[in-house]
Amino acid sequence: MYQRFVNIMRGLSTNWIGLLGVSLTTSAFFLFIVVELLRLLGILTSTYIGLITYMALPALFILGLVLVPVGWFILRKSTGKKTKELLNDKFEDLEIEGKTFGSNLMRTILILTVVNILFLGGGTARMLHFMEEPEFCGTACHGVMQPEWATYQDSPHAHVACIECHVGEGAGALIDSKINGLWQVISVTLDLYEKPIPTPVHQLRPARETCEKCHWPDKFYGNRLLNNVHFAKDEASTPKHTTLSMKVGSGKGTSKGGIHWHISDQNEVRYASVNDEREEMLWVDLKQSDGTFKRFTNRKLSAQTDDVVRSLDCVDCHNRATHIYEDPDVAIDNRISEGLISRNLPFIKREAVSAITGNYPTKEAGLEGIATQLTNFYLFNYGSQMGSFLVDLDQAIATCQKVYDKNIHQNMNVTWGVYPNNLGHQQGEGCFRCHNPDMVDENEQAISDDCTMCHSILANDSDHPFKFLTPGQEKGDPDYKMHLYHQSEFLSSLDK
């Protein structure tokens, strides 16, 4: 059997073209198996090795397969003999005349063909699978995806594959994404892409197909308590407490609900925005299953006839569901809350924000600049206490560097505020893009921006953290009245 295989290989390697073909195919085949084994064993992990294995090797394999018949064809041309004659010449010593010809040679070729098809099928499947791994999407293109990759890894969706949100289900989505991917490879190679990558992503799959695979709109109900602690820029970095009770319900039917009312089955909110950028709204309309129709137009802007109309979905509010870039102030607040930056360091809130918002030409310069700026500040102003600060200072520097590393990517022109979050109204207009006094219907009724429509404000920059008081508790408590009032409001909103 082995001898027969070798003979046939020799027979196929009729001239240098055939020989090249056979060697290419065989070595690509064995190399693939070896690399694949090493990858499965976790010895090779680099995305680039993956790229070579799943793209270059199968390509060489196919090239080899094509060269074999080409070589044969050229041989036929040059000798002027027919295939059968040539076969007889070549395989004389193999008793391929008559019956044995059909059974031996053809069987071997058949087996080889089956092996080829299995190999290519398996290879293609592995390649598609590999290209769907977040690792590939996040790291294959030389840092182009570095900002998205960094923010993704630190998000609630760190274990949700990129394609779950970006590609969606079905053959159509897959083909679209491959065509799009091909264009991306070209634009990265030729450096044609925009930096930063523009947002919003117009070809993102509809949220109904992606987000709703895991999050079901009807399950939103009640309130969600949100505690934000902000730290003042004074010497003690004094904490201030804000507590919101977010009315996240979707409501039942067309009746008034809460924040997720927009995406309940019964309601459809559509809008058009300037240049389809989803920032400045031209008009908003609302259709409900009971036949209600309202249209609000922006007093300050006039609509065009060719405006792109969009149905509001999850990503109009959750545009930063995964690629969550932080606000520098809030980033430092959160690290202090988590105990990663110590308030024992005087003015640490102010100094940390100032260090991470410095204008540095490269990431390396930034990381170094943060360390220098913070060290110098404490050295010059608190030199005598430096000894007792060292441990906290080291941790503060490392934490600030991590914040910087996650949010700032000079290679893609991503700095603070490039990708604002629309969930709220702190980083840009957010909800107020539509909920503002200029967005009015024909009766001059605006889309409400009432401060308690979306949340109850249980505490606002308060010195004390919000707490529910138990009945009968000290009337002398300075916050007693406020807490009592808000507790009843909170409880009654739960009943709704």
Site for ligand HEC in 300-319 (CB under 6 A): 312-319
Note if the bond before 200 is cis, omega within 30 degrees: yes
Question: Measuring CA to CA, which residue among 281, 309, 282 is closest to residue 430?
Answer: 281
CB atoms within 10 A of CB 302: 9
Chain positions 131 to 150 lying near ligand HEC, rule: CB under 6 A, are 134, 137-138, 145, 148-149
CA separation for the pair 62, 60 (Å, rounded): 5
In this chain, which of 38, 88, 424, 440 binds ligand HEC, going by CB under 6 A? 424
> Closest CB to ligand HEC among 93 and 450?
450
Distance CA 439, CA 433 (A): 9
Size of the site for ligand HEC (CB under 6 A): 79
Task: Report the alpha-carbon distance of residue 457 to residue 226 in Å, rounded.
Answer: 10
What is the Cα–Cα distance from 260 to 150, expressed in whole angstroms?
Answer: 29
Q: Smallest Cα–Cα separation from 266: which of 290, 238, 237?
A: 290
Residue 22 binding ligand HEC, by CB under 6 A: no
Select from 80, 98, 156, 387 the one that contacts ligand HEC (CB under 6 A): 156
Longest pairwise C-alpha distance within the chain: 111
Residue from 90, 241, 409, 435 that binds ligand HEC (CB under 6 A)?
Answer: 435
Tokens of 105: 């040679």
User: With respect to ligand HEC, which residue has the nearer C-beta, 166 or 406?
Assistant: 166
257: CB partners within 8 A, 6+ apart: 249, 250, 251, 264
| Beta-carbon contacts of residue 162 (< 8 Å; ≥ 6 apart) | 132, 134, 137, 138, 152
Smallest separation (angstroms) from ligand HEC to the CB of 370: 24
Q: Are 329 and 302 in contact (CB under 8 A)?
A: no
Quick one: 345 or 458, whose CB is closer to ligand HEC?
458
| Residues sharing a CB contact under 8 Å with residue 406, sequence separation 6 or more, in sequence order | 150, 151, 154, 326
Please, what is the minimum distance in Å from the beta carbon of residue 69 to ligand HEC? 41
Nearer Cβ to ligand HEC, position 156 or 471? Answer: 156
Segment 167-206, which members bind ligand HEC (CB under 6 A)?
A: 197, 199-201, 204
CB of 199 to ligand HEC, least distance (A): 3
Residue 107 CA: distances (Å) to CA of 2, 11, 361: 14, 15, 66
**Cβ closer to ligand HEC: 57 or 414?**
414
Nearer to ligand HEC, 263 or 355 (CB): 263
User: Which of 238, 381, 426, 488 is the binder for ligand HEC (CB under 6 A)?
Assistant: 426
* Span from 28-36, 91-99, 174-182, 430-438 in contact with ligand HEC (CB under 6 A): 430-438
Candidates 432, 411, 435; CA nearest to 420 is 432
Residue whose CB is less far from ligand HEC, 105 or 314: 314
Select 25 or 298, whichever has its Cβ closest to ligand HEC.
Answer: 298
Residues 282-301 interacting with ligand HEC (rule: CB under 6 A): 284, 286
In Å, how far from its chain's centre is CA 290?
A: 37
- Check binding of 454 to ligand HEC (CB under 6 A): yes
- Site residues for ligand HEC, 380-419, by CB under 6 A, read 419
**Which of residues 42 and 156 has its CB atom nearest to ligand HEC in the complex?**
156
Report the nearest approach of ligand HEC to the CB of residue 244 (Å).
Answer: 6
Q: Which of residues 319-338 bind ligand HEC (CB under 6 A)?
A: 319, 321-323
Q: How far is the CB of 489 from ligand HEC (least distance, A)?
A: 15
Answer yes or no whether residue 420 interacts with ligand HEC by CB under 6 A: no
214-243 residues near ligand HEC, rule: CB under 6 A:
214-215, 217, 220, 224, 226, 228, 242
Q: Kindly report the CA angle at 456 between 156 and 428, in degrees rounded to 5?
A: 60
Rounded least distance, CB 303 to ligand HEC, Å: 14
152 touches ligand HEC by CB under 6 A = yes
Q: Note the residue count of the chain.
A: 496
Q: Is 160 among the residues that bind ligand HEC (CB under 6 A)?
A: yes
User: Looking up tokens 């409001």, which residue turns up?
Assistant: 489
Cα three-residue angle 258-259-260, rounded to 5 degrees: 95
Question: Which of 36, 132, 209, 212 contacts ligand HEC by CB under 6 A?
Answer: 212
Spatial distance between the Cα atoms of 350 and 126, rounded to a whole number of angstroms: 51
Is there a contact between 101 and 4 (Cβ–Cβ < 8 Å)? no
Closest distance of CB 301 from ligand HEC, Å: 14
Residue 218 CB, nearest approach to ligand HEC (Å): 10
Q: Which stretch binds ligand HEC (CB under 6 A): 231-239, 244-252, 392-400, 476-484?
A: 244-252
